[in-house]
Structure 1
Amino acid sequence: MRKSLILAIPEHVGFPSAFKKNFESEGFNVSLITVPASEHFKYKNLFQRLQNLFRKTFLGDKDFKRKLFVKNNKERLTEQLKSIEHTDYALFIRPDLFPLEIVQLVKEKCGMLVGYQWDGLDRYPAIYQYLHLMDRFFVFDATDLKSNTTLPTTNFYFDFLSTSIPSGNDTLYYIGSYLDGRIDIVKDIDNKLKDLNVDRNIKIATNNERIIQLVQGKGLTPISTLVPYEENLTDVINAHILLDIQNPIHNGLSFRIFEGIGYDKKVITTNPHVIKYDFYRPENILIWNEQSLAELKQFIDIPYQVLPEDIKQKYSFSNWAAYMLDLPQHMPINLPN
């Protein structure tokens, strides 16, 4: 008998579709409820904008904008849930983006309520209000394993895709939003790869005209529209090397690392914590520290070391889902100290 699941997830770069497809490929009946990605929040009027500025500046209320975002979605989500009967499971990605009342309502409709905060807890402290509702709650940064209320996990790679993954041509692929600290790192790597005659497919996401000009001035390609995740995976699969720039606000590993594992890609990353994980191989992952041209060439030229099948399976979506929902025969996913 097929298991049933409520999947509650923000509409960030098309992730809901990929999650739903992979759960369905694992035999789940999925009821999907979504909220807009938080970066797409817009104030309803000037008063709301000024009210947020006042509360943040003079009252120290950094949560007011999130509360507006959550309130705007409450009525629509309540209506969606009316048509959903009892399910075996419910999984919330970033529960704090959903009204607390909605999470409570979903808890009444499911046998097990699971949450995953794919961002640091202290970055969005409102999440602490939700923890008591969760039967299982997961974090991907070891520093957030503060009590028995949080469990370890990592991100994963989607394995609903065809298993006949092409080896990729000699191309490096990177897509990421603009951050001051990232652009010079990306440009340094781009310059060195150019000298090594390695093709680059590098996209910097921004719709700010000043930043667009800055990115172009560095010889890089700005894009003003978000690339849906499954479209992004086409570029991942067609590449030979993936570039991952760590977000300094947390130590958790990005999806790019796990795409490297799942699709047999080399990865250049600025996240030094990757060395602590069981899948780390220096032939496959280069921790970027302004290496010389010769050192970068050595990494590119050395053959990719195929990982043991059990390690690849451990970091797949199918195992991740089984572990999150505590299904039989899953492999636990731990975080290094």
Structure 2
Amino acid sequence: MKSSKKILIIAPFAFGYTAHIQKALQQFQTVDVQILYLDQPAFSYKNTLHKAQNFFSKLIFGKNLKKTFVTDRIKASLIQLGQQDEIFIIRPDMLSDDLLQFIKSSTQKFIAYYYDSTRRFPRKVDIIPLFDTIYSYDRLDVSTYDLSFLTNYIFEESNHAEYDYQFFNISTNDYRFPLLENLAKYLKEHTWSYHIQVYNGSEMPANHVEIITTQKSIQEVSNLIQKAKIIVEIQRTEQIGLSFRIFEALGHRKKLITTNKDIVNYDFYNPQNILVVDEHAIEIPADFVTSEYVEIDAAILSKYKIENWVKPIFELQ
């Protein structure tokens, strides 16, 4: 009997988005898959003295106990799990070169996935030579550094035609906040219903959007998406890859408004489903809001689903 291919995923928890890769791989009988999270279990100080110890350790020796904790945990886990056939890592730029070399020594094939651009995290450029294959969702990075192109994925599907509000967006508080405030004002002026939430660690003033102080889980966001007719996505200016919000819209059969101009180059693009807007001069035609969602060809949609997304990466049938 053929032995299983041993695959290890190392990734941020990322609200649970990365857990779907492991779930998809578990459906293949020829795969033995484990996952290590970069940020879970999280580091915590034992007491005030431990916190002070870390302060002086960074000040005097340049050594951060938080980073040491992650390094030691990953090394111990790798030793326990043993040699792997393939290790697939997301956000390797969060780790030191020494730790990445240690991880590489634990596998026959070392693969990375960049779901953020090198413009956002420049260290990703420096570590390219460490990997056998690097996938990136950013076309510019793919062409600049000769990487392999790979989008994000659809991990959940539904088909709810009814909706509680017309527009939905959830974001963290960053430079996009005033853009979302302007968008909400625009929607209000057109008497369109919306549910726009901005996460901040504490209360802050807002005129048109709702400020939330607790982060939503991936399932909570999914429930909110299903109640909307149109999903709004404000793309980060330093990258052109398609965010998970776009694939959530695809999976839940929702119309989409996005500032990502590159989306028109994808095979699922349909102007009745997807509207590209200028974030500084938003204009939304009324007929886009009132018209219905057009189903995408099943063959096109299928290749973005997580169960098919993993096949070429890990050479599975």
Q: TM-score range by the shorter chain?
A: 0.7 to 0.9
Runs of 4+ displaced beyond 6 Å: 40-44, 48-51
Contact 2:158 2:253 in 1 (8 A): no
**Equivalent residue, structure 1, for 2:74:** 77
> What is residue 215 of structure 2 aligned with on the other side?
226
Query: What per-residue deviation string (whole Å, max 9, x for no partner) do you get for residues 138-187 of structure 1?
Result: 112122124665111111211xx4x553234152221111123x223322
Whether 2:264 is the aligned partner of 1:261: answer no
Question: Is the Cα contact below 8 Å between 2:233 and 2:257 reproduced in 1?
Answer: yes
Provide the rounded CA distance (Å) in 2 between the counterparts of 1:72 and 1:247: 31
1:117 equivalenced with 2:114 (yes/no): yes
Aligned to 1:179: 174
Q: How does 1:1-337 map to 2 (within 5 A)?
A: 2-27=4-29, 28-36=31-39, 45-46=54-55, 70-146=67-143, 149-158=146-155, 161=156, 164-171=158-165, 172-180=167-175, 182-207=176-201, 209=202, 212-215=203-206, 218-289=207-278, 290-292=281-283, 295-328=284-317
Cα deviation, 1:250-287, whole Å, max 9, x if unaligned, reads: 11111111122222110111111212222111101111
Q: Alignment identity in percent?
A: 25
CA distance in 1, matches of 2:250, 2:39: 29
Contact (CA 8 Å) 2:119, 2:239: kept in 1 or not? Answer: no
235 and 4 in structure 1: CA distance in 2 versus 1, 3 angstrom threshold:
farther
Mapped to 2, the partners of 1:248 and 1:47 lie a distance apart of: 38
**C-alpha contact 1:114 1:325 (8 A) present in aligned 2:** no
What is the aligned partner in structure 1 of residue 48 from structure 2? Answer: none
Give ranges in structure 1 of 5+ residues lacking alignment: 52-63, 329-337
**1:168-214 residue CA offsets vs partner (Å, 9 max, x unmatched):** 4152221111123x22332233234335554322110111x4xx323
- Asked if 2 retains the 8 angstrom alpha-carbon contact of 1:196 and 1:297, the reply is no
CA distance in 1, matches of 2:5, 2:13: 24
**Is residue 93–residue 117 contact of structure 1 (8 Å, CA) maintained in 2?**
yes
Structure 1 position 222, deviation (Å): 1.3
- SS of residue paired to 1:4: strand
What per-residue deviation string (whole Å, max 9, x for no partner) do you get for residues 61-99 of structure 1?
A: xxx99x886444111111111221333322100111133
1:16-42 alpha-carbon deviations (Å, 9 max, x no partner): 4333323324554321111128xx999
SS of structure 1 residue aligned to 2:15: coil
- The one-letter amino acid of 1:108's match is S
CA RMSD of aligned residues (A): 3.1
Label 1:168 to 1:73 Cα distance change in 2 as closer, same or farther (>3 A): farther
Change (3 A) 1:26 1:223: farther
Change (3 A) 1:148 1:134: same
Q: Could you tell me how far apart the structure 1 residues matched to 2:230 and 2:58 are?
A: 42
Deviations 1:299-336 (A, max 9, x none): 111121111111101222222212322435xxxxxxxx
8 Å CA contact 1:244–1:269 kept in 2: the answer is yes
Deviation at 1:240, TM superposition (A): 1.8
Change in CA separation of 1:139 and 1:17 when aligned onto 2, cut-off 3 Å:
closer
Alignment TM-score, normalising by the size of structure 2: 0.83
Structure 2: how far apart are the matches of 1:16 and 1:69?
A: 22
Answer whether contact 1:175 1:202 (CA < 8 A) is retained. Answer: yes
**Which residue identity does 1:214 align to in structure 2?**
P
TM-score, length basis structure 1: 0.78
